[in-house]
Structure 1
Amino acid sequence: MRIELQEITDAHAYDAVVAALPITSALQGWGYGEARRVLGQTPQRYLLRKAGRTVGALQLLRKPLVAGLTTLYAPRGPALETLDDLPLVADALKRVGGVNVKIEPPVPVDASDVIPEALGPFTRAEAEQPEHTILVDTTRTEAELLADLHSMARRNVKAYAKNGVTVGRDDDFEAFWEIFTATNERAKLGAFPRAYYETMLREGGRYGGEAYLILARHEGRALAGGFYLALGGTTNYLYGGSIRDDRPGENGEPRKDVKAPTAFYWGSILDAKAHGYRALDLWGIPRVLDESKHSFGVFKMKENFGGRKVWFPGYQLALSPLAGALTRAQRLRKDLNNYRKRGTTKDVL
């Protein structure tokens, strides 16, 4: 038996399949692919058909290299009924061309478990999305979610409301952009062009999913916020951060910490629950803890809100004899970019 790749051009029909599959991700949604066009990548969408049935969906991003060569990437994909079909997917991918293909099956592996070195013919490789993350089960009651918080986070949840901080969905992209760019500059992180995020915000909710912003404000000023992409049962916190309130306080003194980041994270959890999502992916914690790095503080903040630490490992399949050289060249380029931005070849996470 084999799987056939059936190309699809109906965005709503495609997203309906992606949303309904048990193994799935919003990054396999149509809107995410449209945003990647801004980066020069070409999305190709397929239904995976076996014995006359649709058993999965696949969004491949075709990335140009040199001399007409391309590489393929399935962000947090493919979407499937079962991982048992991956060997059949591999056979189908051999017919689409390209030097290699990287996949990130959206099946979380507990952080304490051993990561398989292979899934059928796919071999372990470095994922493009953050491999380590925290998943919050938002099917629990609000009381259960609150009880799962670190004691300090619970205290801060009470404090932010007393301090007059409000949090919720917000249409103010400029406020989000100020927070996001300030955070990136502070932590020496990279970012895509602004048009990429604007496109994802516009396209991510057009065909069946959702793309939205959540901001925490104090006296009107947005101090923490994030960008979310959702499809199916999970919503994902992809980008965001926080800033200090630089407005003068009473008598010109610095303002006190009103716990806006706590408001943002807790508000995000409650928002995901209110909108019927079964899980919130907090999207990215470090592989190796290093207290000197910005990512350590981000990890500690996310850890305070409970949840399950998991991996989403990456795998690759060679489609050409050039695949090995390409993988080494991509790692070298990443090391050089890291060194230019932060003075180290180590990855952020």
Structure 2
Amino acid sequence: MIRVTSTPPADWAERIAAASQSEGFAEAMRLMGYRPLYVWSAENAALALVRGWRLTARANLFATGAPWAFLRGALDALTARGVPYVKVGDTMWGVVADGVPPDGTPRLSVTPRHTFVLDLAPSEADLLRGMDGAERKIRKAEREGVVVRPVESAADLAAFCQLSHETSDRVRARTAYTDFPPAFFETLHERMASTGAARFYVAWHDTAPLAACVFLTHADTMLYYLGGSTRNRELTTKQAPTAVFWRAIRDAKRLGVRYFDLGGCTPTEDVNDSRHGVYAFKKRWGGRLEAFYNVEAILSPFAYRLQERVVTPLWDRLHPMYFRLLDAAHALRRLTRVPTSSPVEPGAQEG
């Protein structure tokens, strides 16, 4: 039997298979306008992040490691709650072979994704020897005096958020892209950094922040999740993003993490493809290219057509303003927060 609850069961942390299913990640995603639903059975678990209501509702379902039988039941459960469209996974997470629906399943489409995964068992020297260009950029960053530090203060986090915002602005000038508000990173840091589930870094040159990344860790894997960097031409040659990745890899190895997932990419050798730069950067580290899959489920064709023609174009244009309002509301709540003596009972059923 599959259950769907608005709060996680007490043993949720033991049930999940990825950081994207954690309660801390779910709470951070509230600042993106989502409401989390915890979907679980005796053997499997998934996190559904739902935005909108009824005809406008869409869900992202994070179900790493789950088989198709569980996903089918989870989709049925979300259909019963009036969600017309569900995407299983995103560019960073998805399902593997046994989570893919059978060919010809109605109203479902499957998108292959790729990521490079670096095995951290070898020594640092062997890891460097196995790289294809990243090692030269690591040495360049060291010669340039780039210093990478964990985010430990409000000022560090503000620098992180500024770099992320600048990068979002650049990307949005070319294509649709989500601009993550500071409140999202603040909550992610507050809920996950203290346990090591999230690791935030900023690369500096003197007092100038050059690059910032956040990595999420669960079980034996650390995954690159989000980042940003300066486009000051006097500073971009210092190879700060490479320095951040190398610091994270070394920390992961020191902590006993076995695998370093460089995050989703699109394999292409076409230098004119806008996705080539990300692919080339991640390929240089010497990891193994692995496939995973996203599944898109159109549970109500009429509502989906409405979303595609009206809601999605409006969202792409207006979501930065929406996030600024959420950010302001979050800041106001933090100023006026009053401790409560009546916590919600874990596992409460969604109404």
TM-score, length-scaled by structure 2: 0.72
Q: What is the CA deviation profile of residues 193-228 of structure 1, one whole-angstrom value per residue up to 9, with x for unaligned ones? A: 22222222222347x662221122233432122122
| Post-superposition offset of 1:238 | 1.8
| Post-superposition offset of 1:191 | 0.8
| Post-superposition offset of 1:34 | 1.1
Tell me which protein shows more helix as a share of its residues. 2
* Structure 1 counterpart of 2:128, from 110, 124, 146: 146
* Structure 1 counterpart of 2:59, from 73, 97, 105: 73
More moved, 84-93 vs 159-168:
84-93
SS for the counterpart of 2:147 is strand
Q: Is the 8 A contact 2:4 2:39 kept in 1?
A: yes
| Post-superposition offset of 1:308 | 2.5
Q: What is the CA deviation profile of residues 283-306 of structure 1, one whole-angstrom value per residue up to 9, with x for unaligned ones? A: 232365653465432322222112
Identify if the C-alpha distance between structure 1 residues 331 and 186 changes in structure 2 by more than 3 Å, giving closer, same or farther: same
| Post-superposition offset of 1:69 | 3.1
Q: What is the RMSD computed on CA atoms of the aligned residues?
A: 3.6
Long gaps (5+) in structure 1: 19-23, 49-53, 110-114, 247-253, 339-349
Identify if the C-alpha distance between structure 1 residues 300 and 216 changes in structure 2 by more than 3 Å, giving closer, same or farther: same
Identify if the C-alpha distance between structure 1 residues 119 and 25 changes in structure 2 by more than 3 Å, giving closer, same or farther: farther
Aligned to 1:112: none
More moved, 301-310 vs 322-331:
322-331
Long gaps (5+) in structure 2: 319-351
SS for the counterpart of 1:333 is helix
Identify if the C-alpha distance between structure 1 residues 10 and 261 changes in structure 2 by more than 3 Å, giving closer, same or farther: closer
* Structure 1 counterpart of 2:143, from 135, 157, 162: 162
1:25 aligns with 2:18: yes
1:234 aligns with 2:234: no
Give the whole-Å Cα distance in 1 for the aligned partners of 2:211 and 2:299.
Answer: 43
Give the whole-Å Cα distance in 1 for the aligned partners of 2:237 and 2:315.
Answer: 37
Identify if the C-alpha distance between structure 1 residues 202 and 165 changes in structure 2 by more than 3 Å, giving closer, same or farther: same
* Structure 1 counterpart of 2:12, from 11, 14, 21: 14
Aligned to 1:63: 51
Matches within 5 A, 1:163-312: 163-171=144-152, 172-187=156-171, 188=173, 189-205=177-193, 210-243=197-230, 257-286=237-266, 291-292=271-272, 295-312=275-292
Q: Is the 8 A contact 1:122 1:315 kept in 2?
A: no
Q: Is the 8 A contact 1:136 1:281 kept in 2?
A: yes
Q: What is the CA deviation profile of residues 247-296 of structure 1, one whole-angstrom value per residue up to 9, with x for unaligned ones? A: xxxxxxx6794332321222222222222333222223236565346543
1:60 partner letter: A
Identify if the C-alpha distance between structure 1 residues 300 and 80 changes in structure 2 by more than 3 Å, giving closer, same or farther: closer
Aligned to 1:51: none
SS for the counterpart of 1:9 is coil
Aligned to 1:124: 109
Q: What is the CA deviation profile of residues 114-135 of structure 1, one whole-angstrom value per residue up to 9, with x for unaligned ones? A: x8774967722569xxx44322
1:136 aligns with 2:118: yes
2:286 partner letter: G
SS for the counterpart of 2:210 is strand
1:198 partner letter: E
Q: Is the 8 A contact 2:59 2:83 kept in 1?
A: no
Give the whole-Å Cα distance in 2 for the aligned partners of 1:205 and 1:34.
Answer: 13
Aligned to 2:346: none
Give the whole-Å Cα distance in 1 for the aligned partners of 2:316 and 2:6.
Answer: 38
Q: Is the 8 A contact 2:50 2:60 kept in 1?
A: no
Give the whole-Å Cα distance in 2 for the aligned partners of 1:119 and 1:88.
Answer: 18
Q: What is the CA deviation profile of residues 318-348 of structure 1, one whole-angstrom value per residue up to 9, with x for unaligned ones? A: 433535525643796289759xxxxxxxxxx
Give the whole-Å Cα distance in 2 for the aligned partners of 1:321 and 1:261.
Answer: 42
Give the whole-Å Cα distance in 1 for the aligned partners of 2:30 and 2:4.
Answer: 21
Aligned to 2:313: 333
Identify if the C-alpha distance between structure 1 residues 333 and 46 changes in structure 2 by more than 3 Å, giving closer, same or farther: same
| Post-superposition offset of 1:244 | 5.2
Give the whole-Å Cα distance in 1 for the aligned partners of 2:88 and 2:264.
Answer: 17
Q: Is the 8 A contact 2:4 2:40 kept in 1?
A: yes
Give the paired residue count: 306
| Post-superposition offset of 1:43 | 0.6
More moved, 318-327 vs 162-171:
318-327
Q: Is the 8 A contact 1:160 1:260 kept in 2?
A: yes
